[in-house]
Amino acid sequence: MEDAWDAARRAASAAGISLAPLTELEDARRVTVLVDAVWGEDQLSPSLVRAFQHAGGGIYGALGDGDLVGFVLGFLGWQEGLHLHSHMLAVVPEWQSRGVGYALKLAQRAACLDAGIDEVRWTYDPLVVRNGWFNLVKLGTVGTALLPGFYGEMTDSINRGDRSDRFEVRWSLRSQRTARALTGEAAPPSPGPVVLEARGGHEAPRPAPTRARPEPGCVVEVPADHPGLRARDEALGWAWREASAEAFGACFEAGLVAVWVTREGRYLFGRREELP
């Protein structure tokens, strides 16, 4: 297996940035400015970032053209085993979609492995399918739970007006699944019955629950672009929030985990014990 830092540095160079631990007082301020640029409001206090810096290890930055253009921040937790909880990953809009976020996650992975931490967890909105693709397919995490309304009401520019349902994902850093994802060799399981179907055109698909029972391979369809759909039709966006929570909840209750999502928004579930 390629050394984790080599993989991170290779990804960084492909994205045109360099990676650095953020340890200075000035970095704490720069992180909070970047958070404001991405979420549109003050989400993180510099003193909390400073405390994370002092505790050590949990914050990496991406430097592009001399500026801080992205960062990843996490802290340790030990519920159900020692892990890093990755709280924030952000890249400034001008640098998004160039591989910076990916390089930052690889730096986080390498730093964890150095410290003897084998698992990283975080949460994301399962209706942001691009994040789902990134987390489940490109990085090789597994969706282990739906946390309805996880953050309560949110007022930032990305989440305002929607319920903060989140998937918990777990990234097993030494697993074969992760190794395959990082080398682009992962493949989806064969799809089974569809538990929730997206009916109608791409512009305004409607949620249609089926009578299918959750079982390994089952599929939950969601809109490819829920944030866009929600901006066009708030009621339809809400209908998807409710219908998806019910379908995802049923899959997790049946003991399944989310293992894949296509770019079109087809989530696939499987048995955790059967994962490589």
Ligand X SMILES: CC(C)(COP(=O)(O)OP(=O)(O)OC[C@H]1O[C@@H](n2cnc3c(N)ncnc32)[C@H](O)[C@@H]1OP(=O)(O)O)[C@@H](O)C(=O)NCCC(=O)NCCS
Among 52, 71, 102, 267, binds ligand X (CB under 6 A): 102
Establish if 247 lies at the interface with ligand X (CB under 6 A): no
Establish if 130 lies at the interface with ligand X (CB under 6 A): yes
Query: Distance (Å, rounded) from C-alpha 33 to C-alpha 217?
Result: 43
Least distance CB 202 / ligand X (angstroms): 18
Total number of residues shown for the chain: 276
Establish if 91 lies at the interface with ligand X (CB under 6 A): yes
Establish if 206 lies at the interface with ligand X (CB under 6 A): no
Phi first, then psi: give them for residue 80, nearest 5 degrees.
50, 40
Contact 109, 12 (CB under 8 A): no
Residue with smallest beta-carbon separation from ligand X: 101
What does DSSP assign to residue 274?
A: G
Q: Where are the alpha helices (DSSP H) in 137-225?
A: 176-182
Establish if 75 lies at the interface with ligand X (CB under 6 A): no
Query: In the chain, at which residue ranges do the beta strands (DSSP E only) sit?
Result: 18-21, 59-64, 67-77, 83-91, 119-124, 142-147, 166-172, 194-199, 206-209, 219-221, 256-261, 266-271
Q: Decide the pairing of beta strands 142-147 and 166-172.
A: antiparallel
Q: Restricting to residues 140-179, name those near ligand X by CB under 6 A.
A: none
Establish if 182 lies at the interface with ligand X (CB under 6 A): no
Binding mask 27-56 for ligand X (x = CB under 6 A): -----------x------------------
Contact 15, 69 (CB under 8 A): no
Query: Distance (Å, rounded) from C-alpha 141 to C-alpha 127?
Result: 16
Query: Distance (Å, rounded) from C-alpha 138 to C-alpha 124?
Result: 15
Least distance CB 35 / ligand X (angstroms): 9
Q: Which two tokens stand for residue 275?
A: 């994962």
Least distance CB 156 / ligand X (angstroms): 10
| Terminal CA-CA length for the chain | 16
Establish if 267 lies at the interface with ligand X (CB under 6 A): no
Q: Which residues pair with 261 in a beta bridge?
A: 267
Give the binding range for ligand X (CB under 6 A) out of 131-139, 198-206, 210-218, 243-251: 131-139
Place of tokens 């992760």: 178
Shorter beta-carbon distance to ligand X: residue 69 or 195: 69
Establish if 124 lies at the interface with ligand X (CB under 6 A): yes
Shorter beta-carbon distance to ligand X: residue 85 or 206: 85
Least distance CB 193 / ligand X (angstroms): 26
Query: Distance (Å, rounded) from C-alpha 4 to C-alpha 51?
Result: 27
Give the binding range for ligand X (CB under 6 A) out of 85-93, 146-154, 159-167, 250-258: 85-93
Shorter beta-carbon distance to ligand X: residue 34 or 236: 34
Establish if 79 lies at the interface with ligand X (CB under 6 A): no
Establish if 126 lies at the interface with ligand X (CB under 6 A): no
Give the binding range for ligand X (CB under 6 A) out of 25-33, 94-102, 200-208, 209-217: 94-102
- Which residues contribute to the site for ligand X (CB under 6 A)? 38, 88-91, 96-102, 124, 130-131, 133-134, 138
